[in-house]
Structure 1
Amino acid sequence: MQQIEIDENEAGQRLDKFLHKFMPVAPSSFFYKMLRKKNITLNGKKAEGNEKLIIGDVLCLYLSDETIHNFKAGSVRTDEYEEAYKKLKDIQVVYEDRHIVIVYKPSGILTQKAAAEDLSVNEWLIGYLLKKGSINKMQLSTYKPSVCNRLDRNTFGMVICAKSLAGSQKISSLLKNREIRKFYRMFVKGQVVKEELLEGYLVKDESNNKSHLLKGDEGMKGSPVKTRYYPVSRFRDRTLVEAELITGKPHQLRIHMAGIGHPVLGDYKYGDRTFNDRYKRQYQINSQLLCACRLEFPKLEGTFEGLSRRVIEIPLPGEFQMLMKEQ
């Protein structure tokens, strides 16, 4: 017999949905048979399967360990999480509370895996929480913590991650409604002299995995994008710029800045190869100098009051610091 007490990450869903997550190999007919025969009970009573679980509910599975193991076979493995936590040592926790973790991702690390063999921030997060004891292997069968927003592999900066289901739902809602303000700093080619609001439409070309910025009626079928930027410091042939990502589409900042003649330094996809090569030779710049450096949260109440109007900012990476000292 196995007893499970429902916590906040499992509450709010139907009993049958929870059972499918817990033993994903088992067919629905098995669950309903076990519920009917009272081999699976909820709070000591017969259940139908359509009950909404709440925190503190007790689920009893009067099944053999072998049966549970077989129906869970292959559903939860922690190897890759532990490996990611050991290997991706440069990821750092910037902020953490009961529901979320905000981490710093260096350039060169994926936010989420692109192939089965990849290790990303997503796997690192679960490895970190397992190491801390914030989650255990059994809990991973019904809820997996995950990243809430993405950064390109070669972008530096902060990634918001959800530890709990409540955290995931809240951050997803805030991001969807654009209530979290996201600021980036970047080195761009040339002299930027004034603040400007950029608008347009992004259209992706699947043949070469690049997006294009269009304006006016021609772009109406694309995704609308909006970026506000202003110069912070000007140097001989480059400017340190801060930008607010008002919308959040892949490659948006890089495309917008390239579109006005100020491509991001180190960006070979949309930028200036000659300009980039010169910095690569002289300063060993091997990544695009774009960093998600500041998050500003709105007024929040209740469970998430600790994040209310909180501003979270990180120092710029070493590559930025080096170029800020060079004219």
Structure 2
Amino acid sequence: MKKYIINSNDAGQRVDKFIQKAAPKLPQSAMYKGIRTKNIKLNRKRCEISTRLSEGDVLELYLPDEFFEEDDSGERYEFLKAPKNISVIYEDENILLMDKKNGLVVHEDNEGTVDTLVNRMQHYLYAKGEYAPADENSFTPSLCNRLDRNTGGIVIAAKNAESLRILNQKIKDRELEKKYLCILVGVPPKKSDTMTAFLFKDSKSNTVTVSDKKTDRNKTIITKYRVLKTDGKLSLAEVELLTGRTHQIRAHMAYIGCPLLGDGKYGSNKVNRSYGIKTQALYSYKLKFSFSTDGGILEYLNGREYTVPKVWFEDMFIEK
């Protein structure tokens, strides 16, 4: 038998969704059977899979102990195997803004990498005493956005379930403004422009193709840029995504003849080698909270803007 007392991070979830997170070893078939046969009870009464949980509720599962993890020692936490050092841009009781460096993956990849940004973040909060896995039934501090391994920049983490819910919705509704810095090989035809094209993703090769023609297989992309500096060979540009597609900045800029410096997939390895650059010069360097709807417990963030202190390639092309 296992008893869960619902806390603030658990509240609002459906019974079935909560159980899947709190007891991952429990098969869905056993869960559904337990609810049907009243072996799973909420406040000592029968419940449905769609019943919403409230803070203070007591959920009891009269099921075999083999379905529940009992080891709450720190040794079983995978995130403790990762370093706890992160670069913090801003932090409060609800959120954490981190400056992810090029080369670090945000989540575990196919190679089973343990040193990820999410593991570092959880280790960091664990060491500060702000995250106690043993006290949580279903919530873990989570990342709200992600960046490719070879793209650096601002990544947002939520420290509680309500912040995670709000931020996920704000990102979906495009109420956060993110701007990127990049170095382009060449000079774009215009100093600034808002470009529209169509992108097709080949999942097998993990590459995308950009075209001027719409088909039933590709998706619209809109990319806004402005050139900040240029020496005639390289250009430092600020880019804003008005749509968010896979490899959009890299592929769209390459499509207009100005690939990113250091990009081996859509750019020129010969050019990259000539500058000694082994990773793409692309950084998500600025974030602004621009809520058009109520921000709930995060309303205080509305209108605030955060920028990384220094992007590694900002002055590189001038030196060259």
CA 22–30 in structure 1, closer or farther in 2 if over 3 Å, else same: farther
**Where do 5+ consecutive residues of structure 2 fail to align?**
none
Secondary structure of 2:183's match?
strand
- The answer as to 2:109 corresponding to 1:114 is yes
CA 31–18 in structure 1, closer or farther in 2 if over 3 Å, else same: farther
1:181 is displaced (CA, Å) by 1.2
What are the within-5 Å matches in structure 2 for residues 129-278 of structure 1?
129-139=125-135, 141-192=137-188, 193-217=190-214, 219-278=215-274
TM-score (norm 1): 0.83
2:309 to 310, 315, 322: 315
Higher normalized helix content (fraction of residues):
1
The aligned amino acid for 1:320 is E
Secondary structure of 2:155's match?
strand
Aligned to 2:81: 83
Q: How many residues align?
A: 310
CA 35–139 in structure 1, closer or farther in 2 if over 3 Å, else same: farther
1:154 is displaced (CA, Å) by 0.5
Aligned to 1:12: 12
CA 212–133 in structure 1, closer or farther in 2 if over 3 Å, else same: same
- The answer as to 2:286 corresponding to 1:291 is no
Secondary structure of 2:179's match?
strand
Q: Which runs of 4+ in 1 moved over 6 A?
A: 60-63, 74-77
Secondary structure of 1:320's match?
coil
- The answer as to 2:51 corresponding to 1:48 is no
Q: 1:39-78: per-residue Cα shift (whole Å, max 9, x none)?
A: 9662xx4343554211233456789xxx65x322399874
User: Take 2:216 and 2:175, find their aligned partners in 1: how far apart are those partners?
Assistant: 25
The aligned amino acid for 1:203 is F
User: Take 1:290 and 1:75, find their aligned partners in 2: how far apart are those partners?
Assistant: 42
Aligned to 2:21: 21
Aligned to 2:297: 303
User: Take 1:306 and 1:234, find their aligned partners in 2: how far apart are those partners?
Assistant: 38
User: Contact 1:297–1:309 at 8 Å: present in 2 too?
Assistant: yes
1:319 is displaced (CA, Å) by 3.5
The aligned amino acid for 2:82 is A
CA 158–75 in structure 1, closer or farther in 2 if over 3 Å, else same: farther
User: Contact 2:170–2:176 at 8 Å: present in 1 too?
Assistant: yes
User: Contact 1:188–1:241 at 8 Å: present in 2 too?
Assistant: yes
User: Take 2:238 and 2:9, find their aligned partners in 1: how far apart are those partners?
Assistant: 37
User: Take 1:115 and 1:74, find their aligned partners in 2: how far apart are those partners?
Assistant: 28
Q: Give me the CA root mean square deviation.
A: 2.9
CA 271–229 in structure 1, closer or farther in 2 if over 3 Å, else same: same
User: Contact 1:157–1:292 at 8 Å: present in 2 too?
Assistant: yes
2:87 to 60, 83, 92: 92
Moved more, 77-86 or 98-107: 77-86
Moved more, 121-130 or 26-35: 26-35
CA 29–287 in structure 1, closer or farther in 2 if over 3 Å, else same: closer
1:234 is displaced (CA, Å) by 1.3
User: Take 1:75 and 1:243, find their aligned partners in 2: how far apart are those partners?
Assistant: 48
Secondary structure of 2:299's match?
helix
1:104 is displaced (CA, Å) by 1.0
Aligned to 2:319: 326
CA 4–72 in structure 1, closer or farther in 2 if over 3 Å, else same: closer
User: Contact 1:19–1:31 at 8 Å: present in 2 too?
Assistant: no
User: Contact 1:186–1:264 at 8 Å: present in 2 too?
Assistant: yes
User: Contact 1:191–1:237 at 8 Å: present in 2 too?
Assistant: yes
CA 16–238 in structure 1, closer or farther in 2 if over 3 Å, else same: closer
Residue identity over aligned pairs, in percent, reads 32
User: Take 1:258 and 1:33, find their aligned partners in 2: how far apart are those partners?
Assistant: 57
1:265 is displaced (CA, Å) by 0.7
**Where do 5+ consecutive residues of structure 1 fail to align?**
none
Q: 1:132-158: per-residue Cα shift (whole Å, max 9, x none)?
A: 222222355512332222211111101
TM-score (norm 2): 0.85
User: Contact 1:289–1:320 at 8 Å: present in 2 too?
Assistant: no
User: Take 2:31 and 2:278, find their aligned partners in 1: how far apart are those partners?
Assistant: 52
1:103 to 98, 102, 114: 98
User: Take 1:71 and 1:150, find their aligned partners in 2: how far apart are those partners?
Assistant: 32
